[in-house]
Structure formats: C-alpha cells, structure tokens
Structure 1
Amino acid sequence: MTAGPTLRAEDVAEIHDALALFAHVFDNDDIAELGRVFTEDAVIENTIGSGYTIDGLASARQFTGRRSPDTPDHQTLDTVLLVDASGTVRARSRYIATLIDGEVHGGDYYDILERTARGWRIRYRVSVPRHPILDRIDLPAQFADAWRPTAENVVRFERD
C-alpha cells in the first residue's frame, strides 16, 4: 500500500475547525465571521432545485444576511481530508440539516481548501443533497472521483 500525503497535525486541526465553524457562523447569522471560513474569492455552489452559485466572500455575506429564519440548522460530520499529487487539499464531509418542522435532510459537502495568511479557509464548496431525494442538478459522474478516498490521497499525520 502506498503511503498517502502528509499534513501537520496543526493543519489538520485548523482545517477541521474551519469546516465545523461554517455551521456555527452561518446558522447564527454571524456574517462578520464568514471570513474565518471562506477565502475572499470563494465559490459556493448548491445543487438543490435549479442550483445557485455564490461568488466571493462579499456575496456570501449578502446571501447569509438575506436567508430566512427557517433555514435549516446544519451539522458537519464524517470529514475525510485528501491531498492530490499537485498538493490540492480537499475535504469531503457529510452534513445533516434539520428543518424547522423537524424533518432531516442529509448530503455531502465537497470542499477545496487553501492555506491563507490568516489560516486554512474553504476556497470552493459544492453542497449535494443525498436524502431525501430532492430535485437537483446532477454533477458529472466523474466529479466525485477527486474526492474519493484512496491509499494515495488520504491525509496522514506528519510525524516529528
């Protein structure tokens, strides 16, 4: 088995913090803190219904400020970190979203992360619902390949 790429434990912890922080910041309308989650030029896509794209941190702040009070409450879990041969850091996480009526939805976040001067941030995110089956834009079959864990891309901790 080929050993996968390594990241420092501090990097892994910071990446997990950024991913977890999304739900806290977004669900609590903490617009000022979105910069602790996303890069300035982040692209955020959602495939529900006809889909939508948010380009940049300023647009993400506007989107968050306009969201309805009954927007689902999010939890991010089961994150796997991957690094490809070019050094691109990807995260694939499951999410659970609880609606105001108690109904639960779940899906996947596909993220590309970037180390910035202020720490690790999400540069690209696409949210893909899994259950219940909803109208959505289907991504190309090969899209998920870059986020599929293999012996070559699963992050290992760097040992001192």
Structure 2
Amino acid sequence: MTFTADDRTAVLDLINRHGHLCDAGDFEGLAALFTPDATYDVTALGGGVLAGPSALREAALALGDANPVAHHVTNVVLTEATGSQARVVSKGLGVMADGTVSSVTYDDTVTLTAEGWRIAHRTVRPRRRPLHA
C-alpha cells in the first residue's frame, strides 16, 4: 500500500485531535485515537509506561487539577511513512491553571487499522533545556 496525501491528512488530523479531546475530558473520543494495545510512555515525566486507553483515562483522572487546562499540538511532521505505519514527531505546549507553560516533544508511531489511523505508541519527552536534543 502506498502512503497517500489522504493518509497524511488523516494522520495529521489524528495528532491534532488529541489536545482538543484531552481538554474536553472526552475519554471516549481519546480512546478512539489509540489502538487497543497502545502504549503511552510518560517515563520522562515520572508516569511510567501506560498500557491501553483505559490506563490513559485513569492517569488523567488521578492527576485531577494538576492536568493542563490546555494542550496545544504544533509542528507536526511525518518523519517516516510506509503503507500501514508512520512515525510522527510533534511539539506540545501545556498551559497550567496557574498560567505556567511547559513544552514537550511527542514521538508517535501510528498504524492503519480497520477503523482508520490510530496511535500505537507515544513517547512524551519534556523540553527543559534550549538547543538540546
């Protein structure tokens, strides 16, 4: 299968929807962005590796008011693409209730399922130092 312009649009939309659904607390919608066996690696933020959409929901609920009030995803780039998988890197900004802002890098593997493109693996890395890989 060839990775098409329609695939690219669908993958970009998938990544962009994440912040909207997080901010709305739409856990059902969020679950639909991920494969059932997706892993969400927030080890660098102290949260370990979460397995499956239900673990994401539980982690978000456990954070409660410590969650960002706004997630902004930007600079979305497909770095590798084959017929049924793509690697995507993007930037995220989290705005907290006290007005502070944090930056992260999302490193995603997305896969084409019968339901469309879904995130199979996400690693979240905080950005704390300028000009540092």
Is the TM value for this pair above 0.5? yes
- Note the C-alpha offset of 1:87: 6.2
Partner of 1:13: 9
- Note the C-alpha offset of 1:62: 2.3
Larger Rg: 1
Q: Does 1:28 align with 2:24?
A: yes
- Listed one character per residue, the Cα deviations across residues 47-105 of structure 1 (whole Å, up to 9, x for unaligned) are 34544111012222322333313411211110110226796410000111111111111
Counterpart CA distance in 1 for 2:46 and 2:66 is 20
Give secondary structure in 2 for the equivalent of 1:69: helix
* RMSD (CA atoms): 2.3
| Aligned partners of 1:105 and 1:132 also within 8 Å | no
More helix by share: 2
Q: 1:112 to 1:53 in 2, by over 3 A?
A: same
Give secondary structure in 2 for the equivalent of 1:101: coil
| Aligned partners of 1:106 and 1:132 also within 8 Å | no
Q: 1:110 to 1:31 in 2, by over 3 A?
A: same
Q: Does 1:112 align with 2:109?
A: yes
Unaligned runs of 5+ in 2: none
Q: TM-score, normalised by structure 1?
A: 0.71
| Aligned partners of 2:3 and 2:83 also within 8 Å | no
Figure out how many residues of one structure are paired with residues of the other and give that number.
129
More strand by share: 2
Give secondary structure in 1 for the equivalent of 2:6: helix
Give secondary structure in 2 for the equivalent of 1:33: helix
Partner of 1:56: 52
Unaligned runs of 5+ in 1: 1-5, 134-143, 145-160
Q: Does 1:43 align with 2:8?
A: no
Bigger relative CO (Cα 8 Å, ≥ 6 apart): 1
- Give structure 1 regions of 4+ aligned residues with deviation exceeding 6 angstroms: none
Q: Does 1:67 align with 2:63?
A: yes
